Structure 1
C-alpha cells in the first residue's frame, strides 16, 4: 500500500552543489590529488617506454626523440587545451543548474574529440616523414621514427577520446574516475608496449611499432570504458542521445575556449625547440646540463596541471552560478598553491642542485653546467607553476586569451633574447638567466591578465 502525496506538495529541493559552497583550499587539494597521481603515472610510462626503446638500440632512441614533441602536442592539446574548454563549458552549465545543456555539451565534445584525433592522424600520416627529416632524421633513424609514428597516430582518435571523456567527467567535479581510467591506460600501455615491442610473454618482437601499439591499444580500451560509463547514466550528467542535434552555439561554447587554448601548447613546444636549438650552439656539455634541468621541469608540470585542472570545475560552476567573487578566489588560491609547491622545489635546487643533478651524471663539466642552470633558473620555477595553473583557471571562466598572450610573450622573449645573446657572444649562464626571466614574464603576465580581465556569468 502506498500513500500518494497531495498534488500541491512541493518537490524536494535538489542537493546543494558542494563545489559552490565547500571551503576552497581543502576542496581544491582534494580534487587535485587524483589528478597528480594520474599525471605522475603517465610520466612513469614515458620512463618505461624509453627503457624499452633503449633495449632496441641507439637508432630507436634517436627516433623517439623526433616523434616525442608531436606525441606531447596531441596529449597537451586534447587533455589540457581542448579538454579544458570541455570541462569549462560543462561546469558552467551545471553551475547554472542546466543539466540538459551539460548533456548536450558532452555529446558535442565527443564529436570534437573525434575530429581532433582524425586531424592529427591525417597530418602525421601525410607529413610525418618530412617533419622528422626537417628535425634532422636521416637513414634508419628516420625509418624507425616513421614506423613508430604511423602506428601511434593511427590511434590518435582514441587518445583524443580518452582525454575528452575524462574532461567531461572532470567538468562535473568527478576527478577520481578519470584519474583511475588514466592510471589503467598507463598500466596497460606499459604491459602491452613492452610485450609487443620486446617480444615478452611469448609475443612477437615488433620493435618500435610494437611499443607504439601498446599506447594505441591501451587508449582504445580506455575510451571504450569511459564511453560505456557515460552511456550507463551513472555519471553526474546524462548524455542527451535522443534529443541530440547539431547546434552551432554549443560547438562555439567549447571551441571559443579550447581552440584559443590550443595555442598555448603549440607555443610551449615551439619555445622548447627554439631554446634547445640555441643552446646546441654552446656545445654538448651545456646542452646536456640543460637537458638534466628541463627533465625536472617536465616532472613539475603535472603538479601545476593537476591543480589547474582541479580549479576548472570550481571556477566554471561559480561563474555559471553568478558567483564571480568565488570564481576569482578559486583561481588565485589555485595559482598560489601551485606557485608555492613548484617554487619550493625550484628554490631548494637553486641552493642544492646536487640533490637532482647527481642522479644523472658524474661528469664534472656537465655537472657544472647543470648547477649553473639551477642556480639561475630555479628561482623562476614558481612563476612558471603560477602561469600554468592560472591558464587552466582562466579556462573555467571562459577568459583564456590573457594567459595565452602571456605564453606568447615568453615565446617571443626566448626567440629574440636567445638570438641576441648568441649574436653578442654571451655565455651560457646568460641563456639560463633568460629562462628564469621568461618564466617570470609568463607567470606575472598570466596573473595580470586574470586581474585585469572582467569575468561575467
Structure 2
C-alpha cells in the first residue's frame, strides 16, 4: 500500500498515534539527554548552571529552527509532493534542503562565535557566569552543523512516513550524547575534563552519529525517494519554495527564544540563584517542545499529504485530533509538576534558594502547559498545510505580552509576577492560533476540494 493511500484512508486517531509514538519516544530520549546534561553541569556549581541558563536558549533556538521551522517546512513541502505523486519534485526538494541546512548552520555559527560575548553579556552574564556561558556556546557552535544536518535529514525521512527510522536515528544520537557528555564534562582516561564545554561537545558528537544513520537510510534504503547529492541542479525557485514557509515559520522560534531571553533578563536582576532556578524550570517548557513535536511531526506529514491530495476537511480533522492529544500530554505533565514541583527542582541542585524559584515557576506555569501543547501542535500542523501566518502572529503576541508586562512591572517585578506573565502569554498563544484555524485561516486562497 502506498504512503498516500495509507494516510488518506487509515483511521485518524490510530494513525496519528502510530506515527507519533516513535517520535514521542525519541523526544523522551532527548528529554532524558537534556536532564543528564543539567545533572552533569549541576555538579559544577551555581555559576555553571546560570551560564547554562544563558547559553541553552541559543542551542534550543538552533534546534527549533532546524527541526521545527525549516525541518517542518521541508517535511510539509515534500509530503505535499509525495501526496501529489511527484517523486522527482520531492527528491529535488530533499537535495536543496540539505544544501540550505549547510548554509544556515554556517550563518548561525558565525553569529554566535563572533557575537557571543556581547549577546550573553547583554542578557546579564557577568564574570564566572559569562565565562561558563561562552565555554558551552563556543564549543557547540564550532560543530553545530551536525545539529542542522541531522534534523534536516530527519525531516526528510518523516515526510516519507518512516517515523520509526527517524526516531531510531535521533535516539541513537541521544544515547551517544549522554555518554560523550559525561566523559567530556568530568574527564576520563585520556579524555580531558572540559567542564560545561563537555556537554556542548557531547551534543555535537551525538548529532554527528544521527546524521550518519539517517543519511545511509535516505541514500540506500528509502523507497519513497532517494536522496541524491549530485546530479540535481541548484534552482533558486526550489530554495524560495522552502524558505517561503520556513522563513515565516522561523519567526516563531525567534519569538519563543526572545520571550525566554526577555524573562531571563528580568529574572537576572534578582540574582544568580533566581536565574539558575528559572533556568531549571524553563528547561521543562523547552523540553515540552520536542514532546509536542512527536505529535507535530506526524501531523506535518499527514496534513501535508492530505493538502497535496486536496483532502482538506480530513486534513483539518487530523490537526484538531493531534492538537487535543498534544494538549492532554503536556497538560498531564504540567499538572503533575505543579502539584509536585520538587520532583523536577530537586533533580538538579541542592541549593534551596534555586529550588524554591524552580518550584514557584512550576506551580504558576505548569497548569498552563496544556494550552502550550495545543498551540504548538497547531503550529506544526500549519506547516503541513503551508499556512503559517496566524501561528506566527500568535507567537509574536506571546512575546509582546511578556515583554510589555515586564517593562510595566519594572523594578516592582518579582519572580511570581514574571511567571504569571508567562502563564498569560501561553493562554493568548493558544487561543489566537486555535480561533484563526477554526475560522478557516488554512482555506483562504485554495481551490475547492473534490468531494470526500
Q: TM-score, normalised by structure 2?
A: 0.88
Q: 1:451 to 1:364 in 2, by over 3 A?
A: same
Q: After superposition, what is the alpha-carbon deviation per residue over 1:71-99, rounded to whole angstroms, capped at 9, x for unaligned?
A: 11111110111100000000000011111
Q: Report the secondary structure of 1:388's partner residue.
A: helix
Matched with 2:120 is: 132
Q: 1:64 to 1:363 in 2, by over 3 A?
A: closer
Residue 326 of structure 2 is aligned with which of 338, 347, 350?
338
Residue 232 of structure 1 is aligned with which of 220, 240, 259?
220
Q: 1:286 to 1:142 in 2, by over 3 A?
A: closer
Residue 111 of structure 1 is aligned with which of 99, 105, 111?
99
Matched with 1:323 is: 311
Q: 1:226 to 1:283 in 2, by over 3 A?
A: closer
1:189 and 1:170 map into 2 onto residues whose CA distance is 22
Q: Does 1:436 align with 2:423?
A: yes
Q: Does 1:247 align with 2:222?
A: no
1:267 and 1:78 map into 2 onto residues whose CA distance is 15
Matched with 1:6 is: none
Q: Report the secondary structure of 1:261's partner residue.
A: helix
Q: Does 1:221 align with 2:209?
A: yes
Shift of 1:63: 3.4
Q: After superposition, what is the alpha-carbon deviation per residue over 1:165-191, rounded to whole angstroms, capped at 9, x for unaligned?
A: 000001111111111111111111222
Q: 1:355 to 1:400 in 2, by over 3 A?
A: same
2:413 and 2:181 map into 1 onto residues whose CA distance is 44
Q: 1:158 to 1:28 in 2, by over 3 A?
A: same
Contact kept, 8 Å, 1:155 with 1:220, in 2: the verdict is no
Shift of 1:325: 0.6
Matched with 2:403 is: 415
Q: TM-score, normalised by structure 1?
A: 0.87
Q: Does 1:445 align with 2:441?
A: no
Matched with 2:30 is: 42
Contact kept, 8 Å, 2:53 with 2:275, in 1: the verdict is no
Q: Report the secondary structure of 1:106's partner residue.
A: helix
Q: 1:46 to 1:296 in 2, by over 3 A?
A: closer
Q: 1:300 to 1:454 in 2, by over 3 A?
A: closer
Q: 1:51 to 1:435 in 2, by over 3 A?
A: closer
Q: 1:454 to 1:298 in 2, by over 3 A?
A: closer
RMSD (Å) for aligned C-alpha atoms: 2.9
Contact kept, 8 Å, 2:385 with 2:442, in 1: the verdict is no
2:299 and 2:424 map into 1 onto residues whose CA distance is 26
Q: 1:430 to 1:15 in 2, by over 3 A?
A: closer
Residue 161 of structure 1 is aligned with which of 143, 149, 163?
149
Contact kept, 8 Å, 2:263 with 2:402, in 1: the verdict is yes
Please list, as runs of the form range in 1=range in 2, the aligned pairs for 1:47-86 lying within 5 A after superposition.
47-56=35-44, 59-86=47-74
Q: 1:419 to 1:255 in 2, by over 3 A?
A: same
Contact kept, 8 Å, 1:28 with 1:334, in 2: the verdict is yes
Q: Report the secondary structure of 2:162's partner residue.
A: coil
Contact kept, 8 Å, 1:100 with 1:240, in 2: the verdict is no
Shift of 1:395: 0.4
Shift of 1:67: 2.0
Shift of 1:270: 1.1
2:204 and 2:414 map into 1 onto residues whose CA distance is 44
Structure 1 unaligned segments of length 5 or more: list them: 1-12
Shift of 1:218: 2.8
Matched with 2:450 is: none
Q: How many residues align?
A: 444
Q: 1:346 to 1:186 in 2, by over 3 A?
A: closer
Shift of 1:371: 6.1
1:274 and 1:24 map into 2 onto residues whose CA distance is 39
Residue 140 of structure 2 is aligned with which of 130, 134, 152?
152
1:349 and 1:190 map into 2 onto residues whose CA distance is 24
Q: After superposition, what is the alpha-carbon deviation per residue over 1:373-422, rounded to whole angstroms, capped at 9, x for unaligned?
A: 55543432211111011000000000011101001011111111222234
Matched with 2:375 is: 387
Contact kept, 8 Å, 1:357 with 1:371, in 2: the verdict is yes
Could you tell which deviates more after superposition, 263-272 or 428-437?
A: 428-437
Could you tell which deviates more after superposition, 337-346 or 158-167?
A: 337-346
Q: Does 1:90 align with 2:78?
A: yes
Indicate the structure (1 or 2) with the bigger Cα radius of gyration. Answer: 1
